[in-house]
Chain A
Amino acid sequence: EADIYQTPRYLVIGTGKKITLECSQTMGHDKMYWYQQDPGMELHLIHYSYGVNSTEKGDLSSESTVSRIRTEHFPLTLESARPSHTSQYLCASSEVLGGKETQYFGPGTRLLVL
């Protein structure tokens, strides 16, 4: 089982602030993902990465940005938080073994923008 960590777990912040959500995994997985999920709703992929220096936008348009300077670290940044950014943000990484790919998720960050 993968070890994947997200900090902070909960964040309440005012409009206009810059925030960075941290995600780290210790399993050396190349692929990492960020999902956004509102309560009771689907997960929406907002960013993913195939490896160091690789970042791609997901299916859901997002005003956030990501970086992948190190394999184990995939932070997500909001330059100017707005109430519409209030949501849960889930980070995941995946491994491919024997032709099978499995995703492992972090505990999530619940963001509230006032």
Chain B
Amino acid sequence: DAKTTQPTSMDCAEGRAANLPCNHSTISGNEYVYWYRQIHSQGPQYIIHGLKNNETNEMASLIITEDRKSSTLILPHATLRDTAVYYCIVRVAGYTGNQFYFGTGTSLTVIP
């Protein structure tokens, strides 16, 4: 599976949009982009995923560039509870040879 590159940390003011970038320049055509987050001392939580089209759910929006080499997770109105480590993962669905690689993620701090 392709590896991803994310900034180590970011700050965001409460109520503003948090835009978390992720580079995945070696992504292949059948790899999905997944975003998870991990709030301190809890298990990672699934946020959203996509293949080519932009996606939106109740938690966030996912913007994938046309060449699929990068993506941005958008939390439209960040709250203090969104402070967490955010992981961007690319993966072939159901492929048994490799598993999810979480990396170090981006530590997002939402500031009051």
A residues with a Cβ closer than 8 A to B are 33, 35, 42-43, 45, 48, 50, 58-59, 88, 90-92, 96, 99-108, 110
Contact = CB atoms under 8 A, between A and B. Distances in A.
A108 B93 contact: no
B44 A102 contact: no
A106 B34 contact: no
Given A99-B93, A100-B49, A101-B94, A45 B43 contact: no
Interface of B: 32, 34, 36, 41-46, 49, 51, 91, 93-94, 96, 99-100, 102-104
Given A100-B32, A100-B93, A101-B93, A33 B42 contact: no
Given A58-B99, A100-B49, A105 B44 contact: yes
Contacts of B43: 90-92, 105-108
A35 B42 CA distance: 13
Nearest to B99: A45
B28 to A, nearest CB: 14
What 5 pairs across the A-B complex have the smallest Cβ distances? Answer: A105-B43, A101-B93, A96-B94, A43-B102, A105-B44
Given A42-B102, A42-B104, A104 B93 contact: no
B62 to A, nearest CB: 13
B7 to A, nearest CB: 16
Given A92-B43, A105-B44, A106-B43, A50 B96 contact: yes
A99 B94 CA distance: 8
16 contacts: A35-B102, A43-B44, A50-B96, A88-B41, A92-B44, A99-B94, A100-B49, A100-B51, A100-B93, A101-B32, A101-B91, A101-B94, A103-B100, A106-B43, A107-B43, A108-B43
A36 B49 CA distance: 24
A89 to B, nearest CB: 10
A107 to B, nearest CB: 6
Nearest to A1: B46
Nearest to A54: B96
